[in-house]
Amino acid sequence: MKKIVAWKSLPEDVLAYLQQHVEVVPVDPARHDAFVAALREADGGIGASVKITPAMLEGATRLKALSTISVGFDQFDVADLTRRGIVLAHTPDVLTESTADTVFSLILASARRVVELAAWVKAGQWQHSIGPALFGVDVQGKTVGIVGLGRIGGAVARRAALGFNMQVLYTNRSANPEAEAAYGARRVELAELLATADFVCLQVPLTEETRHMIGAKELASMKKSAILINASRGAIVDENALIDALRNGTIHGAGLDVFEKEPLPADSPLLQMANVVALPHIGSATHETRHAMARNAAENLVAALAGTLTTNIVNREVLQR
Ligand code: NAP
């Protein structure tokens, strides 16, 4: 029986499914040496939220497939996996809608000051009807700019256009004609999007091209009234530049699910700012979606090891070798 390493705990039924096909070796990724030793003995691996470096795969000559329980695959060096002949599988689609819900909850919470005002009520401060000092800003009818209109960006565009009567602008390297037809989305240069949008939503994958795509210059080109939403990866934004922009009133606020360092350090200035909504990377974190992702990743791994996987493959080139 083939052997796989699991570096994230799996739902019971998903584990049972895997065990019908392979021997599962659970590992604690915090015990680095034991993790690396287990990879050397394994045919496959499944997990999430841990960087898998080329050094960790030295000597892992049996390894044929890795399956990440996520759509993002920035924890892997894909070119290195391909060189080693290791298939990398991921879980697109199953998490699209719940992640778009998270994006929208950040938009609404930031614009309507939901988190700040809920804390204010709980602190017993609601003693009179509220005035303009506690008003928010509208979401409906405004302009959303989606940087990276793919699966999740498309689901955000649908909510924005059909649910909230918003105009949708987007940037991509290539056009998304479906979103243009269905939601009236208009493809523009990043500069125009930043200068025009009331809500700038980042939904690009983290790559060398997108790292720090939003820095001091880009933040300065946004409207003073604009809100930045990031539920992609923390490093898309230069976080120090964002902190300055929020402090100086360069932009109005931010709704953040992801950070350059996670968990966000307790001394981060972002935690002191009333105009920041900070979430603990909950994009896809519902019971239903996380279960579907684990199941999907397990099925991907079993099929990849059997040589029958045809979808959800990150490095398709490996199959052509
Ligand atoms: P996707 O369908 O591949 O969409 C990504 C979009 O970004 C595509 O439209 C792509 O279009 C665009 N893009 C890629 N590189 C770009 C570049 N250099 N400049 C401009 N646009 C670029 O991926 P998805 O399923 O929507 O997921 C997107 C990302 O969300 C994931 O990679 C992950 O990091 C993040 N995510 C976060 C959470 C969370 O928990 N917060 C949950 C799920 C996903 P072109 O190829 O035409 O450029």
Would the CB of 149 count as within 6 Å of ligand 1? yes
Would the CB of 90 count as within 6 Å of ligand 1? no
pLDDT tops 80 at residue 151: yes
Q: What is the dihedral of CA 205, 208, 210, 213, to 10 degrees?
A: 150
In angstroms, the CA 160 to CA 186 distance is: 13
pLDDT for 320 equals: 79
How big is the CA angle at 156 (ends 255 and 190), to the nearest 5 degrees? 75
pLDDT tops 80 at residue 321: no
| CATH class of residue range 3-94+287-320 | alpha beta
To the query of whether residue 233 is one of the catalytic residues in this protein, the response is yes
Q: Which of 41, 262, 288, 317 is catalytic?
A: 262
Would the CB of 68 count as within 6 Å of ligand 1? no
Q: What is the pLDDT of residues 193-249, one digit of tens each?
A: 999 999 999 999 999 999 999 999 999 999 999 999 999 999 999 999 999 999 999
Would the CB of 232 count as within 6 Å of ligand 1? yes
Would the CB of 172 count as within 6 Å of ligand 1? yes
Nearest CA to ligand 1 atom 1: 150
Nearest CA to ligand 1 atom 42: 283
Would the CB of 258 count as within 6 Å of ligand 1? yes
Longest pairwise C-alpha distance within the chain: 70
Q: What is the pLDDT of residues 10-53, one digit of tens each?
A: 999 999 999 999 999 999 999 999 999 999 999 999 999 999 99
Q: Which of 96, 158, 232 to mutate to test the pocket of ligand 1 (most atoms within 8 A of CB)?
A: 232
- Under 8 Å between Cβ of 1 and 22: yes
H-run or E-run covering 229: strand 227-230
Q: Which atom of ligand 1 is nearest to the CA of 283?
A: 40
Q: With bands split at pLDDT 50, 70 and 90, how would you rate the model's confidence at 171? A: very high
To the query of whether residue 262 is one of the catalytic residues in this protein, the response is yes
- Residue 117 has which token pair? 């005002």
Query: How large is the average pLDDT for residues 139-149?
Result: 98
pLDDT for 319 equals: 86
- Residue 53, C-beta contacts closer than 8 angstroms, at least 6 positions apart: 77
- What average pLDDT does the structure give for the chain? 97
Domain parsing of the chain, residue ranges: 3-94+287-320, 96-278
3-94+287-320 and 96-278 agree in CATH topology: yes
pLDDT for 130 equals: 97
Three-state secondary-structure class, residue 257: coil
Q: What is the CATH number of domain 96-278?
A: 3.40.50.720
pLDDT for 268 equals: 98
Q: What is the pLDDT of residues 260-305, one digit of tens each?
A: 999 999 999 999 999 999 999 999 999 999 999 999 999 999 999 9
pLDDT for 181 equals: 98
- Residue 64 has which token pair? 């044929």
